[in-house]
Amino acid sequence: MISALGGIDGLVFTAGIGERSAVIRAKICARLRWLGLRIDDNANVAGASCIAASRSRIDVRVIATDEEAMIAHHTRAVVGMH
């Protein structure tokens, strides 16, 4: 998909594994080095919100999610409890 898009401006890790696994984030980012994507290993291990290295051509973020709140929000909208 990245090739079809002609590249990407940013990569976001979110939810369970994306938020909590520095190892998985590092492995994924290593496979995307061909894009110029580089991560700051220390920021990644620390779980920082921005883990892109200063020399990265791609912004890399870790964004926390709250799935339960979103489910509640959409459920309330469906049942008419805006």
- Mean pLDDT per 10-residue segment, the chain (82 residues): 92 92 97 96 97 97 89 88 62
Q: Quote the pLDDT of residue 81.
A: 67
Q: Who's near 6: CB < 8 A, 6+ residues apart?
A: none
Please tell me whether the overall predicted TM-score, pTM, comes out greater than 0.85 for this model: no
Domains belonging to the chain, first-starting first, are 2-78 (3.30.420.40)
